[in-house]
Amino acid sequence: MDLKPEEWLEAHGDALYRYALVRTGQRDVAEDLVQETLLAAWRGRDGFRAASGERTWLFGIMKHKIDDHFRRTARTGGVLPAPDEDTAVDEESLEFGEDGSWRTRPGVWGGDPLGQAEAEEFWQELHRCLERLPVRLREGFVLRELSGLESRQICEVLEISENNLYVLLHRARLRVRSCLERSWFGGGERP
Amino acid sequence: MIGPDCHDVAYLLSRARESRLTRRERWAVRMHLLICVYCRRYARQLRWLEQALARVRGSGRTGRLDEEARARIRARLDTREETRPNPPADR
Protein backbone atom coordinates (compact mmCIF):
# COMPACT_ATOMS: atom_id res chain seq x y z
CA MET A 1 0.00 0.00 0.00
CA ASP A 2 1.39 3.38 -1.02
CA LEU A 3 1.31 6.27 1.39
CA LYS A 4 -0.24 9.48 0.10
CA PRO A 5 0.94 12.20 2.50
CA GLU A 6 -0.52 14.95 0.33
CA GLU A 7 -3.98 13.46 0.96
CA TRP A 8 -3.64 12.87 4.70
CA LEU A 9 -5.01 16.22 5.77
CA GLU A 10 -8.10 15.95 3.59
CA ALA A 11 -8.71 12.27 4.21
CA HIS A 12 -8.05 12.03 7.96
CA GLY A 13 -7.64 15.59 9.28
CA ASP A 14 -11.17 16.07 10.64
CA ALA A 15 -11.32 12.62 12.21
CA LEU A 16 -7.95 13.13 13.93
CA TYR A 17 -9.00 16.60 15.04
CA ARG A 18 -12.25 15.38 16.67
CA TYR A 19 -10.34 12.75 18.60
CA ALA A 20 -7.79 15.31 19.82
CA LEU A 21 -10.50 17.89 20.58
CA VAL A 22 -12.53 15.57 22.76
CA ARG A 23 -9.41 14.34 24.56
CA THR A 24 -7.91 17.78 25.24
CA GLY A 25 -10.95 20.07 25.15
CA GLN A 26 -8.93 22.86 23.48
CA ARG A 27 -9.26 23.77 19.82
CA ASP A 28 -5.80 25.26 19.40
CA VAL A 29 -4.13 22.32 21.14
CA ALA A 30 -6.11 19.88 18.99
CA GLU A 31 -5.09 21.73 15.81
CA ASP A 32 -1.44 21.64 16.83
CA LEU A 33 -1.71 17.94 17.59
CA VAL A 34 -3.06 17.24 14.11
CA GLN A 35 -0.09 19.10 12.65
CA GLU A 36 2.41 17.32 14.89
CA THR A 37 0.85 13.96 14.06
CA LEU A 38 1.02 14.46 10.30
CA LEU A 39 4.60 15.73 10.51
CA ALA A 40 5.64 12.83 12.71
CA ALA A 41 3.95 10.44 10.29
CA TRP A 42 5.91 11.96 7.44
CA ARG A 43 9.19 11.66 9.32
CA GLY A 44 8.41 8.13 10.39
CA ARG A 45 6.97 6.96 7.11
CA ASP A 46 9.68 4.33 6.71
CA GLY A 47 8.20 2.57 9.72
CA PHE A 48 4.76 2.28 8.16
CA ARG A 49 3.54 -1.27 7.75
CA ALA A 50 0.78 -1.74 5.22
CA ALA A 51 -0.90 -4.38 7.40
CA SER A 52 -2.25 -1.83 9.85
CA GLY A 53 -3.70 0.56 7.27
CA GLU A 54 -2.94 4.23 6.88
CA ARG A 55 -5.74 5.51 9.10
CA THR A 56 -5.01 3.13 11.99
CA TRP A 57 -1.35 4.05 11.79
CA LEU A 58 -2.10 7.80 11.93
CA PHE A 59 -4.42 7.36 14.91
CA GLY A 60 -1.75 5.36 16.71
CA ILE A 61 0.63 8.30 16.28
CA MET A 62 -2.05 10.75 17.40
CA LYS A 63 -2.68 8.72 20.55
CA HIS A 64 1.03 9.00 21.48
CA LYS A 65 1.00 12.72 20.71
CA ILE A 66 -1.97 13.23 23.05
CA ASP A 67 -0.25 11.22 25.80
CA ASP A 68 2.90 13.35 25.31
CA HIS A 69 0.80 16.49 25.51
CA PHE A 70 -0.61 15.48 28.89
CA ARG A 71 2.83 14.52 30.18
CA ARG A 72 4.18 17.91 29.09
CA THR A 73 1.36 19.87 30.73
CA ALA A 74 1.81 17.85 33.93
CA ARG A 75 5.51 18.78 34.03
CA THR A 76 4.68 22.46 33.69
CA GLY A 77 2.23 22.33 36.56
CA GLY A 78 -0.86 21.56 34.51
CA VAL A 79 -3.50 19.12 35.51
CA LEU A 80 -3.39 15.55 34.31
CA PRO A 81 -6.69 14.04 33.31
CA ALA A 82 -8.31 12.20 36.21
CA PRO A 83 -7.06 8.62 36.43
CA ASP A 84 -9.39 6.10 34.95
CA GLU A 85 -11.89 5.09 37.54
CA ASP A 86 -13.43 2.42 35.38
CA THR A 87 -11.37 -0.23 37.07
CA ALA A 88 -12.41 1.00 40.51
CA VAL A 89 -16.10 1.56 39.86
CA ASP A 90 -18.33 -1.02 38.32
CA GLU A 91 -19.91 1.24 35.71
CA GLU A 92 -22.69 -1.09 34.96
CA SER A 93 -23.89 -1.42 38.54
CA LEU A 94 -24.74 2.29 38.30
CA GLU A 95 -27.17 1.48 35.53
CA PHE A 96 -28.48 -1.94 36.51
CA GLY A 97 -29.65 -3.53 39.74
CA GLU A 98 -28.41 -6.91 40.96
CA ASP A 99 -31.33 -8.60 39.26
CA GLY A 100 -30.22 -7.14 35.93
CA SER A 101 -33.08 -4.65 35.62
CA TRP A 102 -32.62 -0.95 34.82
CA ARG A 103 -31.96 1.34 37.79
CA THR A 104 -32.83 4.40 35.75
CA ARG A 105 -35.29 3.27 33.16
CA PRO A 106 -34.87 4.75 29.71
CA GLY A 107 -37.57 7.39 29.28
CA VAL A 108 -39.46 8.61 26.25
CA TRP A 109 -37.49 11.08 24.16
CA GLY A 110 -40.09 13.49 22.90
CA GLY A 111 -40.22 15.74 19.88
CA ASP A 112 -37.95 15.03 16.96
CA PRO A 113 -34.72 13.86 18.56
CA LEU A 114 -32.93 13.56 15.27
CA GLY A 115 -33.95 17.06 14.20
CA GLN A 116 -32.62 18.38 17.50
CA ALA A 117 -29.26 16.80 16.79
CA GLU A 118 -28.75 19.47 14.14
CA ALA A 119 -28.60 22.14 16.82
CA GLU A 120 -25.28 23.60 17.93
CA GLU A 121 -26.44 23.18 21.54
CA PHE A 122 -26.72 19.45 21.04
CA TRP A 123 -23.06 19.20 20.11
CA GLN A 124 -22.12 21.23 23.19
CA GLU A 125 -24.22 19.03 25.43
CA LEU A 126 -22.78 15.88 23.90
CA HIS A 127 -19.33 17.31 24.48
CA ARG A 128 -20.11 17.88 28.16
CA CYS A 129 -21.37 14.31 28.47
CA LEU A 130 -18.20 12.99 26.84
CA GLU A 131 -16.03 15.02 29.20
CA ARG A 132 -17.64 13.24 32.14
CA LEU A 133 -16.65 9.82 30.84
CA PRO A 134 -13.58 8.09 32.23
CA VAL A 135 -10.69 8.61 29.78
CA ARG A 136 -10.64 5.05 28.52
CA LEU A 137 -14.35 5.02 27.73
CA ARG A 138 -14.19 8.44 26.14
CA GLU A 139 -11.29 7.40 23.96
CA GLY A 140 -13.04 4.29 22.63
CA PHE A 141 -16.33 6.08 22.12
CA VAL A 142 -14.82 9.02 20.27
CA LEU A 143 -12.69 6.86 18.01
CA ARG A 144 -15.75 4.82 17.14
CA GLU A 145 -18.51 7.41 16.93
CA LEU A 146 -16.85 10.69 16.07
CA SER A 147 -13.75 9.63 14.19
CA GLY A 148 -15.60 6.74 12.58
CA LEU A 149 -12.94 4.03 12.96
CA GLU A 150 -13.89 0.36 12.62
CA SER A 151 -13.69 -1.67 15.83
CA ARG A 152 -10.74 -3.63 14.47
CA GLN A 153 -8.82 -0.39 13.92
CA ILE A 154 -9.64 0.92 17.40
CA CYS A 155 -8.35 -2.30 18.98
CA GLU A 156 -5.03 -1.72 17.22
CA VAL A 157 -4.79 1.93 18.26
CA LEU A 158 -5.70 1.26 21.91
CA GLU A 159 -3.96 -2.13 22.01
CA ILE A 160 -6.93 -3.94 23.48
CA SER A 161 -8.86 -7.06 22.56
CA GLU A 162 -12.18 -6.95 20.71
CA ASN A 163 -14.01 -8.19 23.80
CA ASN A 164 -12.51 -5.37 25.85
CA LEU A 165 -13.64 -2.90 23.25
CA TYR A 166 -17.20 -4.27 23.23
CA VAL A 167 -17.45 -3.84 26.99
CA LEU A 168 -15.88 -0.39 26.84
CA LEU A 169 -18.29 0.82 24.14
CA HIS A 170 -21.26 -0.71 25.93
CA ARG A 171 -20.36 1.19 29.11
CA ALA A 172 -19.72 4.42 27.25
CA ARG A 173 -23.03 4.20 25.40
CA LEU A 174 -24.90 3.56 28.65
CA ARG A 175 -23.32 6.63 30.23
CA VAL A 176 -23.76 8.89 27.23
CA ARG A 177 -27.38 7.83 26.91
CA SER A 178 -28.26 8.55 30.52
CA CYS A 179 -26.28 11.80 30.50
CA LEU A 180 -28.13 13.05 27.40
CA GLU A 181 -31.43 11.95 28.85
CA ARG A 182 -30.81 13.99 31.99
CA SER A 183 -29.35 17.06 30.37
CA TRP A 184 -30.94 17.18 26.91
CA PHE A 185 -34.21 15.30 27.12
CA GLY A 186 -34.85 16.27 30.72
CA GLY A 187 -36.06 12.99 32.06
CA GLY A 188 -35.52 9.38 32.96
CA GLU A 189 -37.81 7.24 35.04
CA ARG A 190 -36.95 5.90 38.45
CA PRO A 191 -38.46 2.54 39.29
CA MET B 1 -28.74 -18.29 26.51
CA ILE B 2 -32.10 -18.56 28.21
CA GLY B 3 -33.99 -15.49 29.33
CA PRO B 4 -31.40 -12.71 29.29
CA ASP B 5 -32.11 -9.77 31.61
CA CYS B 6 -32.02 -6.06 30.69
CA HIS B 7 -28.32 -5.85 31.55
CA ASP B 8 -27.46 -8.68 29.12
CA VAL B 9 -29.71 -7.29 26.42
CA ALA B 10 -28.24 -3.78 26.68
CA TYR B 11 -24.77 -5.28 26.19
CA LEU B 12 -25.91 -7.33 23.19
CA LEU B 13 -27.62 -4.32 21.60
CA SER B 14 -24.34 -2.43 21.83
CA ARG B 15 -22.22 -5.35 20.65
CA ALA B 16 -24.51 -5.91 17.68
CA ARG B 17 -23.20 -2.64 16.32
CA GLU B 18 -19.65 -4.00 16.30
CA SER B 19 -20.04 -7.62 15.31
CA ARG B 20 -22.76 -9.99 14.21
CA LEU B 21 -24.58 -11.69 17.07
CA THR B 22 -25.12 -15.43 16.97
CA ARG B 23 -28.51 -16.66 15.89
CA ARG B 24 -29.28 -17.61 19.49
CA GLU B 25 -28.32 -14.16 20.77
CA ARG B 26 -30.42 -12.42 18.14
CA TRP B 27 -33.38 -14.58 19.05
CA ALA B 28 -32.93 -13.92 22.78
CA VAL B 29 -32.76 -10.16 22.20
CA ARG B 30 -35.85 -10.20 20.01
CA MET B 31 -37.86 -12.17 22.59
CA HIS B 32 -36.78 -9.84 25.39
CA LEU B 33 -37.67 -6.72 23.40
CA LEU B 34 -41.20 -8.06 22.91
CA ILE B 35 -41.82 -7.95 26.64
CA CYS B 36 -39.61 -5.06 27.82
CA VAL B 37 -40.57 -1.48 27.01
CA TYR B 38 -37.39 -0.06 28.59
CA CYS B 39 -35.04 -2.13 26.49
CA ARG B 40 -37.12 -1.24 23.41
CA ARG B 41 -36.56 2.41 24.28
CA TYR B 42 -32.88 1.75 24.82
CA ALA B 43 -32.62 0.04 21.44
CA ARG B 44 -34.36 3.00 19.81
CA GLN B 45 -32.14 5.49 21.62
CA LEU B 46 -28.97 3.67 20.58
CA ARG B 47 -30.12 3.83 16.96
CA TRP B 48 -30.94 7.48 17.38
CA LEU B 49 -27.58 8.20 18.98
CA GLU B 50 -25.84 6.48 16.10
CA GLN B 51 -27.68 8.59 13.52
CA ALA B 52 -27.20 11.80 15.49
CA LEU B 53 -23.46 11.16 15.75
CA ALA B 54 -23.27 10.44 12.04
CA ARG B 55 -24.81 13.88 11.48
CA VAL B 56 -22.33 15.50 13.84
CA ARG B 57 -19.53 13.76 11.92
CA GLY B 58 -20.87 14.99 8.61
CA SER B 59 -21.80 18.49 9.71
CA GLY B 60 -19.69 21.39 8.56
CA ARG B 61 -20.16 23.44 11.70
CA THR B 62 -18.50 21.74 14.60
CA GLY B 63 -15.86 19.17 15.17
CA ARG B 64 -14.01 19.98 11.98
CA LEU B 65 -10.77 21.77 11.34
CA ASP B 66 -11.57 25.30 10.22
CA GLU B 67 -10.11 26.69 7.02
CA GLU B 68 -7.51 28.80 8.78
CA ALA B 69 -6.10 25.85 10.72
CA ARG B 70 -6.25 23.67 7.64
CA ALA B 71 -4.29 26.22 5.60
CA ARG B 72 -1.71 26.60 8.37
CA ILE B 73 -1.19 22.86 8.65
CA ARG B 74 -1.02 22.47 4.88
CA ALA B 75 1.63 25.17 4.67
CA ARG B 76 3.64 23.47 7.40
CA LEU B 77 3.37 20.10 5.68
CA ASP B 78 4.48 21.62 2.39
CA THR B 79 7.81 22.51 3.98
CA ARG B 80 8.15 19.09 5.60
CA GLU B 81 11.15 17.98 3.56
CA GLU B 82 13.31 20.52 5.39
CA THR B 83 12.12 19.21 8.72
CA ARG B 84 13.21 15.63 8.34
CA PRO B 85 15.73 15.34 11.16
CA ASN B 86 17.71 12.21 10.31
CA PRO B 87 17.80 11.33 6.66
CA PRO B 88 18.59 7.64 6.27
CA ALA B 89 22.32 7.18 5.85
CA ASP B 90 21.97 5.00 2.79
CA ARG B 91 20.34 7.69 0.63
Q: Which residue has the higher pLDDT, A48 or B90?
A: A48
Residues of B in contact with A119 (CB under 8 A): none
Candidates B18, B42, B59; nearest CB to A106? B42
* A-interface mutation test, from B36, B37, B50, B56, most A Cβ less than 10 A away: B56
What pLDDT score does A88 carry? 44
Task: Determine, for residues A9 and B73 on separate chains, whether the beta-carbon distance falls below 8 Å.
Answer: yes
- Between the CA atoms of B22, B23, B25 and B26, what dihedral angle is there, to the nearest 10 degrees? 120
Cross-strand partners of A96: A102
pLDDT-wise least confident of A17-31, B38-52, B68-82: B68-82
Task: Determine, for residues A118 and B59 on separate chains, whether the beta-carbon distance falls below 8 Å.
Answer: yes
Per-residue confidence of chain A (191 residues) as pLDDT tens digits?
A: 567 777 889 889 988 998 898 888 888 999 999 999 999 998 888 888 777 788 899 999 999 999 999 888 877 766 555 555 444 456 677 889 989 999 989 998 877 777 777 777 887 888 889 888 988 899 999 899 888 888 989 998 898 999 999 999 999 999 999 999 988 877 655 55
Task: Determine, for residues A38 and B72 on separate chains, whether the beta-carbon distance falls below 8 Å.
Answer: no
- What is the mean predicted confidence (pLDDT) over B80-86? 55
Q: Please tell me whether the interface predicted TM-score (ipTM) of this complex is above 0.95.
A: no
Q: Which residue has the higher pLDDT, B63 or B31?
A: B31
Q: Does B91 touch chain A (CB under 8 A)?
A: no
Q: Are A74 and A80 in contact (CB under 8 A)?
A: yes
Candidates A42, A107, A146; nearest CB to B57? A146
Residues of A in contact with B68 (CB under 8 A): none
Q: Are A120 and B62 in contact (CB under 8 A)?
A: yes
Q: Which residue has the higher pLDDT, B65 or A187?
A: B65
What pLDDT score does A83 carry? 52
All domains of chain A, ordered by start, with CATH? 5-75 (1.10.1740), 91-183 (1.10.10.10)
- B44: three-class secondary structure by DSSP: helix
